[in-house]
Amino acid sequence: MATKAKSAAKPRLGPKKLIELYRSMLRIRRVEETLTEVFSAGEIPGFLHVCLGQEAAPAAVCSQLKVADYVGTTHRGHGHALAKGVDLKRFMAELLGRSDGFCLGRSGSMHLADASRGVLGANGIVGAGIPIAAGAALAAAKKYPGRVAVAFFGDGATSQGAFYETLNMASLWKLPLILVCENNGWAEFTPQQVHMPGEDVVDKAAPFGVATASVPNDVLQIYQAAGQALKRARAGGGPTLLEVKCDRWHGHYVGDAQKYRGSEAVETAMAEDCLASFEAQLKKDKVLTKAQANKIDKQIQAEIAEALEFARSSPPPQAEALMEGLYV
């Protein structure tokens, strides 16, 4: 896994916001757990990349975004879309390849997009979403001042030329862009020491004059750093590269036996649980009771069950729709 970042400042948040963050993280966790089961049961075709263990960054960043702000995400993008507020029913329908999905069942998990929530689109090409988000930031700067774009990506994507090229242009043009690198220590099946020298993605921004912050997988520290980045971007101060040092629990995709990794490393990764530690902190601070946590969990489980039911009963896309909408 990525090395630990130094502890950063934490924001002073009221109980309502803290519970909202907790709820957002738990919702991502439960959705990903459910999807893992549903995928393993053969109900979801293709590939599925889940973000279990990486719920903090999507919740912390997206909870500070407005509906009209843009988010570009990745093949591991469920958490970002959910935290940005996409409708869970249509989300599930898309993952099951049904006609009620946001993308009419054409995108599946890996290309999920919901323009109505500013979710530009997940991307099957590692790193490709970074310049696209920069383009959204350019449109924001020219047409919708105050609006921002966020690009989520992993450490693997920071070896793509498009990452450096975008850092360069975003800095030159002071784009309202927040580059959020969830540094989970893996480029697909390749560990970090094999795919990049050093351990800190923020170091890669040094030549470009881009503001940086590196924080551990702690929702409040991410919240604080993202808040500063957003403030800077909305005020016309240009881009920020925000690195979150996290870890990946489930391999590259669901079903990846992670033989290249060893069970001990997986256990170590899973012991670092951003949700469990946040929950413990909230309980310790008496912001969240056990009963409240159970209630939230039940609500989420019910919402997921309902969304899954909706998706299962949504008709598959009809063959007649195959040629529709290729061109305007």
Partner 1 sequence: MSDNAVKEVRYIWAINQALSEEMERDEDVILLGEDVGAPGGAFGASRGLFEVFGPERVMDTPISESAFMGLAAGAAACGLRPVVEIMFMDFMTVCMDAVVNQAAKMRYMFGNQYTLPLVIRTPAGAGLAAGPQHSQSLEAWFAHVPGLKVVMPATPADAKGLLKSAIRDDNPVLVVEHKALHAMKGPIPDGEHLVPIGQAQVLREGDDVTLVSAGRMVHQALKAAEELAGEGLGLEVIDLRSIQPWDKETVFASVAKTHRLVIAQEAVKAFGFGAEVAATVAEEIMDELDAPIGRVGAPFVPVPFGLEGAYLPGSGQIAQAARQAAEGGF
Min CB(84)–partner 1 separation in Å: 14
Considering the rule CB under 8 A, would residue 143 count as an interface residue with partner 1? yes
Q: Are strands 240-245 and 211-216 parallel, antiparallel or unpaired?
A: parallel
Min CB(51)–partner 1 separation in Å: 20
Q: Find the part of the chain contacting partner 1 (CB under 8 A) among 100-108, 286-294, 298-306, 308-316.
A: 100-108
* Contact residue for partner 1 among 11, 17, 47, 135 (CB under 8 A): 135
Considering the rule CB under 8 A, would residue 205 count as an interface residue with partner 1? no
Number of residues that bind partner 1 (CB under 8 A): 47
133/181 with CB nearer partner 1? 133
* Contact residue for partner 1 among 44, 52, 132, 180 (CB under 8 A): 132
Min CB(151)–partner 1 separation in Å: 9
Ramachandran region, residue 85 (left: φ > 0; alpha: ψ -120 to 50; beta: rest): left
Output the six-digit token pair for 131. Answer: 């310049």
Considering the rule CB under 8 A, would residue 41 count as an interface residue with partner 1? no
163/186 with CB nearer partner 1? 163
Considering the rule CB under 8 A, would residue 214 count as an interface residue with partner 1? no
Sequence length of the chain is 328
Q: Where does this chain bind partner 1 (CB under 8 A)?
A: 70, 72, 101-107, 111, 113-116, 120-121, 123-125, 128, 130-140, 142-143, 149, 161-162, 165-166, 168-169, 172-173, 324-328
